[in-house]
Amino acid sequence: MHATYAYPKFPYIPSEEQRTGTVKRHPVVVVGAGPVGLTAAIDLAQKGVPVVVLDEDDTVSIGSRAVCYAKRALEVWDRLGTAQRMIDKGVVWKIGKVFHGDHQVYQFDLLPEPDHKIPAFINLQQYYLEEYLLDAARQAERVDLRWKSRVLSVKPQDDHVVLQVETPDGVYALEADWVIACDGAKSSIRKMLGLDFVGQVFQDRFLIADVVMKADFPAERWFWFDPPFHRKQSTLLHMQADNVWRIDFQLGWDADPEEEKKPERVIPRLKAMLGEDTEFELEWVSVYTFQCRRLENFRAGRVFFAGDSAHQVSPFGARGANSGVPDADNLVWKLKLVMDGVAPDSLLDSYSDERVAAAKENLLNSTRSTDFITPKSAISRTFRDAALDLANEHPFARSLVNSGRLSTPTTYTDSPLNTRDTDVFAGKMVPGAPATDAPVEAAGQPGWLMDRLGGGFVALYYAGSDPVPAEVAERLDALARGPIPFAWHAVTDRRREALANELLDVNGRFRERYDATPGSLHLIRPDQHVAGRWRNFDADRLAAALNRAVGR
């Protein structure tokens, strides 16, 4: 096997509890230093909350594992200051192509419109992603990373949780006000609490091969149904950093996983696909089986589950990490407000409500993708192949072709935190929807709307060509100093010098994407989802929406 990455080894350092023999209470303990756990830890630290991260290993993930990271996850990481490094190292892409046999059926563009800061997708090996997140965690003063620390038991109490942790120096106890379990699909925390992880295991196997080669394939997602080099099965190709290519081969349920991982089985498959003369080396090989499962509730008292510990999907559609990172994004701001006494404990129940809805959506899409990719009957295969043949000529059939519906952020349509529309708006920025970006200028400096939203509540008042009325500015300033603090910005289509918090709507994208008219107001939550919107500013309605958004 060829290696393009040198895995770091992180030192095990005895904790203060071990050195002093005391049991210490921590505000938050995160179990698992993968992408989701590290995202939660960094976000907590940046909000001023000290956090302990426990991980039983002492390095980043072995093998590239998760590869595709979507725009919404990257926007979360951009808010935390880590996304640009990922984008610079990763392969940026937005075009996907679908093939049937030896011909292209159609292609799609995941971000056809201009004026977005963050790309539709990047491909990047998970070990790089974790390395960059770990660098950010180490720079955060409030993150205590503890390696070679395996949780042996979790004992919930009325006002805290007691954990027993095994280390090379023995076992010690620590306490946490709150625990976030990000310990993966085989979560030991979930098992310790006796929680059911229900769902479906699909009877098919897929080979993952990470291959080092210099190839002429473009930076696009290519998916083949019944290719000439792998008949009656499917194949997926993605470019990663360092000339590493991810290739997935469908194997069938009867394949022997251990045999299929052997180089003498993998290399002939690759030569059939790439050609006998293509030079390549294997970097990492694995065989996996699809599973679509989830917890009924992502909250168990003072323990929360996020990422694969809460829900597991098939990899087609890139819905693993891309649904886990929004879990962390959804939970942390709510936990912070409850810890600060701004919001009631019941706000934390909305974490499960909203993210269970997202998991159901992801599981449905993932199951449909798997059923299309791996038809289990002759009738299903006939339907699938007919859809592929029709899609070559007829656009209507392309909606039937499912090579993995790629990850999109969830709109929390039924969330109790939303203030429902009473005014008529067009467009996608409905209450519960993730905010979309737009280029803006502030004090003559070009920038982006998402950067201005940050990680707190934000009100966006659209003034159009006129100055913000003095009474509106005064009421917004007064409300912003209230019990639920928020920032507010005036969005205008003409440069002024009147307000320090004025944003110029470059190219009219904000007006277009938010269906803004002079006097309209949008309230954005700390996780950058729309909480409410109105055609005219009303201080009482805004105050009520803020209370609703924090569960009051």
Domains and CATH numbers, the chain: 16-91+108-199+292-366 (3.50.50.60), 439-549 (3.40.30.120)
Beta-carbon contacts of 72 under 8 Å, excluding residues fewer than 6 positions away, are: 322, 325, 326, 407, 408, 409, 434
Convert the pLDDT of each residue in 446-480 to its tens digit: 999 999 999 999 999 999 999 999 999 999 999 99
Query: What stretch of H or E contains 391?
Result: helix 378-391
Q: With beta carbons less than 8 A apart as the criterion, state whether 126 and 65 touch.
A: yes
Could you list the beta-strand ranges (E) of 110-263: 121-123, 143-146, 150-156, 161-167, 170-181, 198-212, 221-225, 234-239, 244-250
Query: What stretch of H or E contains 292?
Result: strand 281-294
Residue 201: other Cβ atoms inside 10 A: 11
3-class secondary-structure state, position 122: strand
Q: What is the model's pLDDT at position 432?
A: 98
Tell me how far apart the alpha carbons of residues 206 and 323 are, in angstroms, rounded to a whole number: 22
Place of tokens 């996907």: 96
Q: Which long-range contacts (CB under 8 A, 24 or more apart) does 192-196 make?
A: 192/151, 192/153, 192/154, 193/154, 193/156, 193/300, 193/303, 195/295, 195/296, 195/300, 196/295, 196/296
Cα separation values, 291 from 194, 200, 204, 415, Å: 20, 6, 10, 27
Q: Tokens for 55, please give them.
A: 């991980």
Among the listed residues 473, 487, 476, 457, the one whose alpha carbon sits nearest the alpha carbon of residue 547: 457
Q: With beta carbons less than 8 A apart as the criterion, state whether 310 and 226 touch.
A: no
Query: What stretch of H or E contains 72?
Result: helix 71-79
Q: What is the model's pLDDT at position 61?
A: 92
Q: What is the model's pLDDT at position 319?
A: 62
Beta-carbon contacts of 256 under 8 Å, excluding residues fewer than 6 positions away, are: none
Per-residue pLDDT of the chain (552 residues; tens, 9 = 90+): 568 899 999 999 999 999 999 999 999 999 999 999 999 999 999 999 999 999 999 999 987 778 899 999 999 999 999 999 999 999 999 999 999 998 999 888 999 999 999 999 999 999 999 999 999 999 998 999 999 999 999 999 999 999 999 999 999 999 999 999 999 999 999 999 999 998 877 778 889 999 999 888 999 999 999 999 999 899 999 999 999 999 999 998 889 999 999 999 999 999 999 999 999 999 999 998 877 889 999 999 999 999 999 998 766 656 678 999 999 999 999 999 999 999 999 999 999 999 999 998 877 777 777 778 777 788 888 888 888 888 888 888 887 887 766 778 899 999 999 999 999 999 999 999 999 999 999 988 999 999 999 999 999 999 999 999 999 999 999 999 999 999 999 999 988 766 789 999 999 999 999 999 999 999 999 999 999 999 999 999 999 999 999 998
Residue type, 405: R
Tell me how far apart the alpha carbons of residues 545 and 102 are, in angstroms, rounded to a whole number: 55
Q: What is the model's pLDDT at position 405?
A: 65
* Cα-trace Rg, the chain: 25
What's 14's DSSP letter?
-
**Which letter, b or e, does each residue of 156-179 get, where b requires 16 or more Cβ atoms within 10 Å of its Cβ?**
eeeebbbbebebeeeebebbbbbb
Place of tokens 């996608």: 428
Could you list the beta-strand ranges (E) of 356-515: 439-442, 445-448, 457-464, 486-492, 502-505
3-class secondary-structure state, position 438: coil
Q: With beta carbons less than 8 A apart as the criterion, state whether 486 and 480 touch.
A: yes
Q: With beta carbons less than 8 A apart as the criterion, state whether 381 and 410 touch.
A: no
